[in-house]
Structure 1
């Protein structure tokens, strides 16, 4: 298979051997992957760094309710790395409790192991810690790009071209949700997404009818996300609900059933009453053969990729290519990261050919930066249904440099976790 050949090429150029948790890994970046078909190579391995971990839980302005639970705070850490030239790379590890594979204690311990090694090597991080791997990967790309917060050059990173995004309606009372729909439409969003499955279904359906009256299908795209909630009601009722949503001209539904119900998801996708997008089903599926088996069994119409839940940008790229090979659409959403993680994801999105082809381009789920009371400073802004980056806004490195005070630099050749003193 073509993908397998690509996977092998990743370990053929600039081979590097190292130990992490007693396991030998061999890998290295392959410049040949930098072409229009394979636009995202694995992150570079960078050694001899001074590193620190900054704990910074994100606090929601308003409790974030889904069909699973309600979030008031989000465990978050920043991995800060400084090279011998004084340049700083920053990566974010942010968890969604109950959805992320890592527990908070596991994530922090893994980050501190990385920091003590003085080495950024994303593929040395176990697959069981996808958010940690995302942090290491994006910190490495940040340093590779000169420590400017730019991980990929593009018209978006240059501030010349925005990314179309959807407006997100958080679950609340139907009255409050209708108010959110109205405000998002006034702000210029033409793709709107809401959660379903936590309230009484007839209330939710009535609300969506009212939304359609104000936001007609010829002018507004409507997506819904059940977070697996329809598994509670059985297949017959799920089919009826999908039919009701299809009658409203809904674009798609994310994860109507729990990931464990692959047969049920496959049946819904085959019936195709309403296009199905897999989201949570992708989490924890690491091996290439298992990913292929999942997609070939369920045959979804779309995938929703959240890089920090899937193992990083490189891992999300693999999912996207598997989807494209099968004629499956895909788009990207944040996992509610701060401005640091959101900027990295958006820059990766900006260089994905499929997301800029008029035949396949769809709005992305990247408008979540305003959710927190204590977000870190950034250069992203949402304007009229688009996400823009202002490259003239300098990065505030005060917090990062303070965190590095007293940290030890390692020898360029080491990755062993032993402090060698200042070099």
Structure 2
């Protein structure tokens, strides 16, 4: 039986610059601060993880500062004894409540170590098909109606099979103009929890726009509003921020508060938890966290598993940040992307890090 004994851990505090600012329903991002974990075992193998919390708690309660502050404790829990499998990570972290993104950073790095120990790719280690071509969707930040129409047209020309619009309750005119310009486009919208129960009539109005899904209209803990909306709307509801544990996925199914789950391993505590949620999801796809290529490499590995109901949220890494952290970019061609074990650029990682810390 394969076991992993950890030898050292380093954190890199990295700032990446977007090629174009990304505006969600409640936040604007021009730079992405992210934390990269480099985990080394006794055999000299290196696994990477990414802590994708944001600088402020607008998405979940975690932040980059809280993630980094908790990391020494998490590493001590993992390094206390050899690890017999990646599932041991969740077991060691059980005494720590919440902090899913901090946990996921270590979970991802440990998965990479075990895949290397088994001399296989992470995709194959998870049970996926590493040769699979993965269909992609395009996520577009909030903008004017004119700019959004132009961006949707470009995304369709590039072959993307699902277009996600970041919208707030004040964006009816944007949605109207996009649908008028592209009557048959595979559209959805993501509200990042910016709607309130008083906005339900507005959602019923948007229900007429023939969308694939409405993602996270209400705040993460507003289960009753999601349940009520799901019973009234023809457009399926997708939950994102609401699903932070396997129990949340079960609650959604029990309450019939949504029909689709946006699985993000980082939001769930790691790849092990994401596999559990996948097994009980009525329908799922994979979203992104504005992460570097390191986090995307692990999301892509998960995407090679069978069962995706919709194209994943992923543009090519060449289109995202001015500089990324991998030696090679992931490229979207004709609306699809292929998984590969692209190496981390040590030079870029160390150059773009504003600080490093040994745990």
In structure 2, the partner of 1:333 is 287
Q: 2:23 aligns with which of 26, 47, 65?
A: 65
Q: CA deviation at 1:73?
A: 2.7
In structure 1, the partner of 2:190 is 225
Q: CA deviation at 1:103?
A: 2.5
SS at the partner of 2:26?
Answer: coil
Q: 1:133 aligns with which of 103, 106, 109?
A: 103
In structure 2, the partner of 1:354 is 307
Q: Is the 8 A contact 1:227 1:257 kept in 2?
A: yes
User: Which has the larger Rg?
Assistant: 1
Q: CA deviation at 1:287?
A: 6.4
* CA distance in 1: counterparts of 2:126 and 2:264, whole angstroms: 22
TM-score w.r.t. the length of structure 2 is 0.83
2:325 maps to 1:365: no
Pair 206,299 (structure 1): closer, same or farther in 2 beyond 3 Å = closer
SS at the partner of 2:103?
Answer: helix
* CA distance in 1: counterparts of 2:246 and 2:157, whole angstroms: 44
* CA distance in 1: counterparts of 2:15 and 2:135, whole angstroms: 28
Q: CA deviation at 1:258?
A: 2.2
In structure 2, the partner of 1:106 is 66
Structure 1 stretches of 5 or more lacking a match? 1-13, 15-43, 356-360, 409-416, 418-423
Q: CA deviation at 1:62?
A: 2.2
2:168 maps to 1:208: no
In the TM superposition, what whole-angstrom CA distance separates every residue of 1:194-214 from its partner, at most 9, and x where no partner exists? 11216442x2233223332xx
TM-score w.r.t. the length of structure 1 is 0.72
Q: Is the 8 A contact 2:135 2:337 kept in 1?
A: yes
In the TM superposition, what whole-angstrom CA distance separates every residue of 1:175-195 from its partner, at most 9, and x where no partner exists? 111121121112111321111
Matches within 5 A, 1:157-168: 160-168=131-139
2:348 maps to 1:381: no
* CA distance in 2: counterparts of 1:350 and 1:175, whole angstroms: 36
* CA distance in 2: counterparts of 1:117 and 1:233, whole angstroms: 45
* CA distance in 1: counterparts of 2:259 and 2:78, whole angstroms: 43
Q: 1:184 aligns with which of 149, 155, 172?
A: 155
* CA distance in 2: counterparts of 1:227 and 1:65, whole angstroms: 11
Q: Is the 8 A contact 2:100 2:268 kept in 1?
A: yes
In structure 2, the partner of 1:8 is none
2:220 maps to 1:262: no
In structure 1, the partner of 2:140 is 169
* CA distance in 2: counterparts of 1:291 and 1:149, whole angstroms: 30
* CA distance in 1: counterparts of 2:289 and 2:52, whole angstroms: 8
2:83 maps to 1:142: no
